[in-house]
Structure formats: structure tokens, C-alpha cells
Amino acid sequence: MKLCMTCKTCEFGFCRENTDNSKCEYSGEIVPEDKGCDAWGASLEYFSEITQNAPWYIKEPYDRCQINYRQFLDFLQKDGDGVGIEINIYDAIERIYGLTPWELAGVLDVSIGVIGYARCRGTIAKRKKPFSSRLHIPERFFDKFLSTELDALKKYKEEFYEFYGSEMVEKLKQNGINAMDEKFQREIAIDKIRNERYREENQYKYQYKEKNKMYHDLSDDYKSRDYVVAITLKEGNYFGNIFYEYGSGEYGLSVTIMSDILEFIENLSCEEIDELNEEGLLNNNIGLKSDINGKEIHFELRNENGDVLKKTVFEEELQKYIVGYEMIRCDGHGMKKERRKCISCKNFQPIEGCAKGNCSARGDVVQRSRIICAFDYVPIENE
């Protein structure tokens, strides 16, 4: 593509009509069609044209922000002058051979990780010969490949397909796709094991049999706190809880939070229960899970003696068993450093007659009101 840097495509092209004697006030003269201009800048219309119609090996790096606009124009200028522009050989292979990264991995009989490494860091020496043999291209292409060699690569592509045949190429491509599927299945299996372990470890994270176990922390000055609300389900003397955990800068169980909790319960369908259980994020003590039919849910309630009542209900009937919402935990993130003054610390012993004292943690004499201790501070009980 030839870059046209003349008044016709310039952002200052209006000078032709708005100046006397056909002079441009920026360059001093009207630039002929066959010459460039140092003061030239692309008009909006021409900018859209070149960014949309530039060759793929210039457009794609620009769209991915791998090159800036100045480099983009420089590459266009070189391309128009017939100067070769360096291209990532794997980008060129995928474009010319029509192969996705996974299909290319199948053709080259390597993992997708090998392709990713070679694309980003270059092809290691031991891979160059087998890769060039498989693709029917020179080894030097893996060292440096220029845009002026794209026509040659197209000829090598024809040799490749002629040698292997379309049927064999499709088989090799399918090998790569199958490897991708197997990799995904392995990752899914690993994620399931991790999620199952997480769920087992956190299933009974918050279990309180007595209300006096509640700790509502209002002592610190930090804005964010971690809350847990117990959503109580009950039938007769049998009960259980779903635990809703959230972080907030508000105090108490606000209207906004209650709205979020009610929306959470309303959306607790079989599909949502499956997804939360899969991720290990549905914290409860009732073994809540969905049925394989995708319409019913199972849970267990217990009485004071530990007897179990197993329930199977339609997903929209869960609300019938909910009898209360109670905040059971509020954990602040500690006291601001500005409140950790030595005068209110157990480790500080004032020296009579002065504003200093002995710090047993530091083993030093410190100011009672100026030193802020971030690590050894122990508040006095009445504080």
C-alpha cells in the first residue's frame, strides 16, 4: 500500500482553497501528487482509509497496540517503497496456510505450549529443522521473515498441501483440536477437584449454635468490613442455614444489603446452585444441591438432637422454608494506625514527670503520644 502524503490527504488540505497564490501556510507551497511533505498529517478521512485498508501484517500489530501510529506510518511508507517489513513467521503461517494455533500444533506434532513459546520468544534450534520439514519452508524463515517473502510462502503452502494431501492435512489439524479438547477436559477435572476440596474446607466455616457467639466489631475506623448473614430455614423443630458473605463500608444490615440478599435467594435456581457448588462458593450447613432433573433441590434440616430431616422441593419453593435473616458476623480490618498510640498500649509504661515511657516490645524509651506502632501494639482492655 502506497502512503500518499500530499495536500489531497492532509489534515491542512483546506489551505489550497483558503490561501492566495496556491500557497500552504504550513509547508509554504502546494505539494505535487508525486512528492511528500514534512508538515503532512493525515486527514480524518484518510486516517480511516489507511487504518482500515493497511496490509494485515501492518494493520494487526497496530490494532493490537504492538506498534504506535508513527511506526504504523513508517511501515506503510516502507511497504509502498517495496522495503520488507519483519513479520512473525507464525502469524504468516497461520494467515497463509489457514491454520489456527491448535491446528498448527497438530500439524507440527507439538503441544500448544511449544507454539506459544516459539511465537513469543522465537523458535529454538532443535525445532527449526522438523518444523521446516513439516511445513516445507526454509529454516531461515524461523530466524527472520519479511513481508517481501509472502509470495514465496504461498508457493511453499502449495507444496505442503500437494505433499500431504487435503485428507491428511485435515487429520493432522484434527489431532491438534483433539489435543485442545483433552487439555480442557483435564483442566476441568482439576478445577472440580480443587473446588470440591475448597467446598469441604469451607462448608462449615461459620457455625454458631448460640446467639451470644455473635461478634459485631464497631471498634475500628476502617471503612471496609466483612459480614456474614445467616439465612435460616425451618420446618417444625428442624432448622439449618445458608450463609451470605459480603464486604461493605456500611454499618449493620442495611436496606441495600437486604435487597442484595433477597435477590440472591430469588435467583437461587438449580442452575445457580450447581454453579456456586462447582466453584465452592455456596456456604451452608444443609447440604444444598440441585437434582439431576434440573427442577428440584435437595437439602437437610436438623433438630437440637441432631436428627436429620431430608427435603426435596421445587426450586421456587425454597422461600417457603426461610423464616429469618440474621447477621452473625462482622469482622473489621483492625484499628487505624492513628489510634495505636503508645499511651493506650499494654507494652508501654509511662515515666513519671515526663511525656515519655518505656516500651517493653521495643526495649526503648518512646514518646507516649507520637509513636505509632504498626506491629507490637496491644490495646489496654478498657481502651
Question: For position 372, what pLDDT does the model report?
Answer: 61
CA 215/CA 225 separation, integer angstroms: 12
User: DSSP character for 284?
Assistant: B
Question: For position 22, what pLDDT does the model report?
Answer: 52
- Assign 334 a pLDDT band (cuts: 50, 70, 90): low
| Rounded average pLDDT over 153-162 | 92
Q: Out of 198-212, 232-246, 260-274, 351-365, pick the least confident.
A: 198-212
Query: Which is more confident, 194 or 127?
Result: 127
pLDDT for 245 beyond 70: yes
Query: Are 114 and 101 spatial neighbours (Cβ–Cβ below 8 Å)?
Result: no
| Rounded average pLDDT over 352-369 | 80
Percent with pLDDT over 70 in the chain: 80
Task: List the beta bridge partners of residue 61.
Answer: none
CA 31/CA 14 separation, integer angstroms: 13
DSSP code per residue over 166-189: HHHHHHHHHHHHHHHHHHHHHHHH
Question: For position 66, what pLDDT does the model report?
Answer: 86
Percent with pLDDT over 90 in the chain: 22
Q: For 210-242, how does the pLDDT look when each residue is reduced to its tens digit (9 = 90+)?
A: 444 455 656 555 556 778 888 999 999 999 999
The C-alpha cell that represents 122 in the structure block: 522465537
pLDDT for 290 beyond 50: yes
Region of 21 (left: φ > 0; alpha: ψ -120 to 50; beta: rest) is left
pLDDT for 309 beyond 90: yes
- Assign 254 a pLDDT band (cuts: 50, 70, 90): confident
Question: For position 149, what pLDDT does the model report?
Answer: 92
Q: For 167-181, how does the pLDDT look when each residue is reduced to its tens digit (9 = 90+)?
A: 998 998 898 888 888
Neighbours of 240 (CB within 10 A): 23
**Mean pLDDT: which of 61-65, 149-153, 281-285 is highest?**
149-153
The C-alpha cell that represents 25 in the structure block: 501556510
Nearest one of 277, 116, 290, 286 to 191, comparing CA atoms: 277
CA 87/CA 148 separation, integer angstroms: 10
The C-alpha cell that represents 378 in the structure block: 496491644
Which residue carries 513469543 as its cell?
120
Sign of the CA dihedral running 73, 77, 78, 82: positive
H/E element holding 278?
Answer: helix 270-279
| Rounded average pLDDT over 111-121 | 88
Mean pLDDT for all residues in the chain: 81
Question: For position 215, what pLDDT does the model report?
Answer: 58
Polymer length of the chain = 383
- Count Cβ atoms within 10 A of the Cβ of residue 58 and give its class: 0-12 exposed, 13-18 middle, 19 or more buried: buried
| Rounded average pLDDT over 287-296 | 86
Helices (H) and strands (E) in the chain, counts: 11, 10
Query: Are 87 and 142 spatial neighbours (Cβ–Cβ below 8 Å)?
Result: no
The C-alpha cell that represents 358 in the structure block: 518505656
CA 317/CA 268 separation, integer angstroms: 11
